[in-house]
Chains A and B, each alone.
Chain A
Amino acid sequence: MIKYVIKRFAQMMAVLLIVSVLVFLMTNFIGDPVDMLVPEDATLEEIEAARIRLGLNKPLYVQYAIFLKSVLHGDFGKSYTYGLPAMGLIVERMPATLELVAVAAALVLLIAIPLGVYAGAYPKRALSKFIMSGSILGISLPSFWMGMMMIYIFAVIFRCLPASGRGDTIPVLGVQLSIFAPGGIRYIILPAVTLALTNTATMIRLTRSGILENMRQDYIKYARAKGVPAKALLFGHALKNALVPVITVFGLDLGNMVAFTTITETIFAWPGMGKLLIDAINKSDRPIIVAYLMAAACMFVVLNFIVDILYTLIDPRIELR
């Protein structure tokens, strides 16, 4: 087990290194950062001075080495627009995003697994067919549009939920969270539902097909022949097997949700790192983009690692290699 963990850890580092190279190379294409720093009427000498100050006159690999070194120190430079360290900005906004993702993820699990199990266990029933058609509709919905429609319905027409923002936050274990603040839940409902929507739909389908597939297996028929009642077949035997792929996909979904917060946060003006990224992209604020990508990469890599470990714990067939 320890050997496995070490091996996976080395892989994680390798992936992060590759990502850092790609990010470095590609951000070199994002508009010349010097343009953002010097006044519009700057002279050539001033521009050249700025280039040297930023180290942009050195060869690419030297620039990368400098980049990597500062990245390892958590230094991504100062945001052009905010004038503050980029990583600090990201870290400051991370709780808001993670809070949103966590609530959305809880919604996904609470809604998708029961519905998926039901649709898989009774595929012929009308309700199951309704759930399945609904889930196809769910994957077909543009989530940004869905968010808007919810704003229009609940904030503009009925005026019962706030259209944007996060509300007040209170510190919980040193982290600023809004959901425990008075009225905080009202702010998070619409963005969380929007964020959860697509993933709920895919998760319903995955759970259902897992249940359907496992219910066809020999071991289920054998368990029936042993006298295992229908409910126990479903929850005792098929569900656990069906959940094996669900866990993997849920891990990927968490990553997806982090990515989709860029959209949700933009629509609901949720002050998280996703909105920060979109604003940064529109303003070519390179340090923030780079800091965001590296932070997100770390998150995904760790997530995948956790999923892999969980996977081996739930399924004895998988050997640690």
Chain B
Amino acid sequence: MSEKNLLEVKGLKTYFHTFKGVVKAVDDVSFEIKPGEILGIVGESGSGKSVTSFSLLKLVEPPGVVEAEQILFDGKDLTRAGEKEMTKIRGKDISMVFQDPMTSLNPLYTIQKQMEEVLILHEPGMSKAQRKERCIELLSAVGIPNPKERLREYPNQFSGGMRQRVIIAIALATNPKLLIADEPTTALDVTIQEQILKLMKKLVRENHTALILITHDLAVVSRMVDKINVMYCGKLVETGTTEDVIKRNAHPYTEGLLNSIPKLYEDRERLDFIPGMVPNMFDLPAGCYFAPRCKYCQEICRSQQPQMREIAPGHKAACHFPLIREKAEGEVE
């Protein structure tokens, strides 16, 4: 376990300077990931989880501005990397899978052209024949039948699930060290979601690729990942191993998220939900951002922002009154 971190993010801040004011989409977020590890980033929409991933690759468009004390990736500080260096890293060492496979591929180019593009860019030594072979190999690896024929087809001839498989194939083409998947299954049918996730986990494990899985679905995460970051309003509120976060969650927000997952074997009249609304990003509360919706809220929560504190080794939460739980007992997986 003493392996060196692949990625160390410290104090990541991504602010959008808009007409109405500054939106702190990601505010002072720090985390790290080891080679081959799977990290889940969980939160509601607008919590800053997607922006976090785009910030790592410096893909945030104006008016967004990315600042960080440090984004140490594989020994390099990405905060200091220029656009040229980033271009070399994107798709090569860090690749991404986007949320909507229907819009991620260029409609006017064949699948082959779009797969080969990444190889031409990042594996200049490959011959034409080798590239084609690699494409076929990748397509079979992601479970696309008749890869040879399908290479010549256009994206509009593929279904959503198939396109996402293609995108995963492209992402893995260069054997990246880190894969970032931004809600990779949200736009897909429920029946296909599971297949894609399993496929991704399998491939990542085989290649010893680290994976950051961004999702709003805690149920998905709990089956897939080693570590979990929970985000709320641009802040990291809880981080720890999957077991820590799922079974011994310390932040009331995490508890709320967990209680809102339907459980098959539990006989409940209705699902729990988190009361209230996600606050307006232009007008955040003074203290803890979750305070207005928190059932444990105290006076201090409204005035003072809680800092990340270690609750157990490797398990941190940003809460003035972290929930202390006994070691998992009687909880059904």
Contact = CB atoms under 8 A, between A and B. Distances in A.
B107 A316 contact: yes
A316 B156 contact: yes
A237 interface: yes
B159 interface: no
B108 A314 contact: yes
Interface of B: 57, 59, 83-84, 87-92, 95-96, 98, 100, 103-109, 117-118, 121-122, 154, 156, 167, 170
B100 A225 contact: no
A225 B98 contact: yes
With a 10 A CB-CB cut-off, give which of B96, B104, B121, B122 has the most chain A CB atoms. B104
Nearest to B102: A218
Nearest to A222: B104
A244 B106 CA distance: 13
Interface stretch (A5-13, A106-114, A227-235): A227-235
A58 interface: no
Given A224-B59, A227-B91, A230-B83, A241 B106 contact: yes
A317 interface: yes
A229 B89 CA distance: 11
B117 A226 contact: yes
Contacts of B59: 221, 224-225
Contacts of A228: 87, 91, 117, 121
A237 B109 CA distance: 9
Given A225-B57, A315-B107, 8 more contacts: A218-B104, A221-B98, A222-B105, A226-B95, A237-B106, A244-B108, A316-B156, A317-B154
A312 to B, nearest CB: 12
A223 interface: yes
Contacts of A218: 98, 100, 103-104
A227 B104 contact: no
A2 B170 CA distance: 36
A240 B108 contact: yes
Contacts, number: 70
A140 interface: no
B106 A226 contact: no
A219 interface: yes
A222 B99 CA distance: 10
A43 interface: no
Nearest to B153: A316
B106 A223 contact: yes
A111 to B, nearest CB: 25
A229 B83 CA distance: 9
Nearest to B88: A227
B62 to A, nearest CB: 9
A316 B103 contact: no
A237 B57 CA distance: 20
Contacts of B83: 230
Name the 4 nearest CB pairs between A and B, nearest first.
A227-B91, A218-B103, A226-B91, A227-B90
A282 interface: no
B103 A229 contact: no
Contacts of B92: 227
A217 B121 CA distance: 21
A244 B100 CA distance: 23
Given A217-B103, A219-B103, A317-B156, A225 B90 contact: yes
A240 B122 CA distance: 23
Contacts of A229: 84, 87, 121
Given A217-B103, A219-B103, A227-B91, A316 B118 contact: no
B95 to A, nearest CB: 7
Nearest to A317: B156
Which residue, of A218, A222, A315, has the highest number of chain B Cβ atoms within 10 A? A222
Contacts of B167: 222
A219 B108 CA distance: 11
Given A218-B98, A317-B154, A317-B156, A224 B108 contact: no
Contacts of A241: 106-108
Interface in A187-222: 217-219, 221-222
Contacts of B87: 227-230
Nearest to A316: B154
15 contacts: A218-B104, A219-B104, A219-B105, A221-B98, A222-B104, A225-B90, A225-B98, A227-B87, A227-B89, A227-B91, A227-B92, A227-B121, A228-B121, A237-B106, A244-B108
B206 to A, nearest CB: 21
A210 to B, nearest CB: 13
B156 A226 contact: no
Given A224-B59, A226-B117, A219 B89 contact: no
A315 B121 contact: no
B59 to A, nearest CB: 6
Interface string A235-261: 001001100100000000000000000
Contacts of B156: 316-317
A314 B109 CA distance: 10
Contacts of B108: 240-241, 244, 314-316
B184 to A, nearest CB: 12
A227 B120 CA distance: 11
Q: Specify which of A227, A228, A241, A317 lies most central, judged by the most chain B CB atoms within 10 Å of its CB.
A: A227
Nearest to B157: A316
B203 to A, nearest CB: 17
B217 to A, nearest CB: 21
Contacts of B91: 225-228
B219 to A, nearest CB: 26
A230 B58 CA distance: 13
